[in-house]
Chains A and B, each alone.
Chain A
Amino acid sequence: MSFVAKRCGVQFSPPSIVLIYENKETNKVRKRIIPVRNFSKYSDYSMAAERLKNHPRHRDYLEGVSQSQLERLHVILRDHLQGFSLDYSLSSFRLDPDEDLNKLDDEELARKKGQMDELFEKNRRHKDDPDFVYDVEVDFNVETREKCSWDEESDDGF
């Protein structure tokens, strides 16, 4: 079976995950609406996302959708159940490189990390990959290095 996920989103009523995918055998693009059951405003979004990703009826379709994206969609659904707007949810994911994340609470921090996970998962080398190397050493040439602008303003503390 080969389903290629194109886009994945949410629908508020009834609470569902919406998947646009292509069936590689028929070359047809289809929409699949997956109702999210037993999910309340108190539910654990990461467990719910995992349950869905491993669901026997849906897992083949969701193979190309990352766990962190499914988590984010569940967060949006839960925010909605708690009365927050979509805007609120989206801005809570946004990464501002100047924001001091040390000041966030657990939940806020988890949202930012969820966003970071996207790239992390993309660049990640898994130990099951055939070309996996445990001890990867790369020497970065010291001579050619330019001065880093991050050092410029006040080098005193450094």
Chain B
Amino acid sequence: MAGNGNNIPELDQNKYDADEQVKIICLGDSAVGKSKLMERFLMDEYRPQQLSTYALTLYKHTANVGGKTVAVDFWDTAGQERFQSMHPSYYHKAHACIMVFDVQRKITYKNLANWYKELREYRPEIPCCVVANKIDADMKVTQRSFNFGKKQGMPFYFVSAADGTNVVKMFREMIKRAVDYKQNPSDFMDEVMQELEVKLKHSDY
């Protein structure tokens, strides 16, 4: 499996082992809108930490999940290929993953398969979702179904960082899932399996 992905000396990734800390990563091709989504969710709250050598922006957020305060670190990564070697450190100790594509560019949807494959090499079981961004550009896309991730039971969101549609909802649900996963990783797998079974049954119709 992964080996040690902790190769960013500026960051102590051991803190993510603490109960009240989660790490959520945001993946996807260049210019799909990962950073704009983060900014829309965090609004004024955000104080990003730029680590440009690693093509990484870190956003810190405090969330309340089930009455408990949780410190969330969002890892906003860059899609550019020249940062490929950094990917293991992104995946390292992550508790959830948000995968984004641009509804205006098919290639970014097709590339999800590569992002997902790589993610699973390092983090075989963390919760993950698929996000279709920029729906404001063409609302008709919301009448289409995008099947990537269906088999794996991944939640799918139509969002727009520009007009805000479903951005907050998506982030809140992913924070909740990251915390759930952290508290009980194996239960989470069962949940996915159940979800999957339900989905499979449904698709029999």
Contact = CB atoms under 8 A, between A and B. Distances in A.
A34 to B, nearest CB: 29
Contacts of A142: 145
A148 interface: yes
Contacts, number: 107
A70 B15 CA distance: 44
Contact of B106 (A97, A146, A158): A97
Contact of A155 (B44, B106, B147, B168): B147
B197 interface: no
B54 to A, nearest CB: 14
A145 B143 contact: yes
Contacts of A147: 144-145, 147
Interface string B78-115: 01111000000000000000000000111101110100
A12 interface: no
Contacts of A101: 29-31, 79, 105
Interface string A116-158: 1001100111010000011111101010111110110001011
A115 to B, nearest CB: 10
A100 interface: yes
A27 interface: no
Interface residues of B, number: 42
B155 interface: no
Contacts of B107: 97-100
Interface in A73-112: 97-106, 109, 112
Nearest to A155: B147
B113 A158 contact: yes
A46 B31 CA distance: 18
22 contacts: A101-B29, A101-B79, A102-B29, A102-B30, A102-B79, A103-B80, A103-B81, A104-B80, A116-B31, A123-B163, A127-B44, A135-B169, A136-B167, A137-B165, A137-B169, A142-B145, A145-B143, A146-B144, A148-B144, A148-B145, A157-B113, A158-B149
Given A109-B80, A123-B162, A137-B169, 16 more contacts: A101-B29, A103-B80, A120-B36, A120-B162, A123-B136, A123-B163, A124-B163, A135-B169, A136-B163, A136-B167, A138-B158, A138-B165, A145-B145, A150-B146, A157-B117, A158-B113
